[in-house]
Amino acid sequence: MNPRFLLLAALGSAAMLLVPRAAHATEPLVRITACEAVQVGGHDAQRLTVAIAGQTQFFDAVGIWPVVQGGADTCSIVDFTPPPGWKAFRGDLGMVFFYGSPVDLGQSLDGFQITVNDVGCCYEVNLSNFLMFDSPGNGIACFQDCRVTPARSSSWGSVKALYR
């Protein structure tokens, strides 16, 4: 990875933390487009593919990291893959940072893949706009389990009988 870009990314992130949040910043829209149960190092994990959209202006970087709840730091992103044409690296405190070509206002970009050890955890999602040193979106995304729910076969009549 280009050390100059890493320096630029670090400076941009620091600047966004120091600059007051814009009044127009809103939560990004995060939508799961694919989900599969996988094994990572012999442990159950879930690979989520998500589409992300900014609601107020374009974005060219996305930071995702687990939210620590109740003092327990049990959630983590164990693997990640950027969308085509984008790049990604792991930052401090479990953060994964994606960056690439700008995504226009009102458009979404699909293909952000994160493999998580516990899909029941919540994750902070921060959109960045390096050109304007702005953060056009910041919010919490909580995902549901993507494993298949066990079901038993039955007739339509037996299903109706459950609700009589």
- pLDDT of 83 above 50: yes
Give the residue extent of every domain in the chain.
3-147
CA atoms of 98 and 142, how far apart (whole Å) = 19
At 114 the pLDDT is 94
Residue 49's pLDDT band, with cuts at 50, 70 and 90, is: very high
Tokens standing for 83? 């969308």
Note the CATH number of domain 3-147. 2.60.40.290
Closest C-alpha among 84, 80, 81, 86 to residue 100? 86
Average pLDDT for 143-150:
55
CA atoms of 154 and 7, how far apart (whole Å) = 60
Our measurement of the distance from residue 70's CA atom to the centroid of its chain's CA atoms, rounded to an integer in Å, reads 21
Sorted by sequence, the CB contacts under 8 Å of residue 146 that are 6+ apart come out as 32, 35, 36, 37, 46, 48, 119
Residue 90's pLDDT band, with cuts at 50, 70 and 90, is: very high
- pLDDT of 67 above 80: yes
At 24 the pLDDT is 36
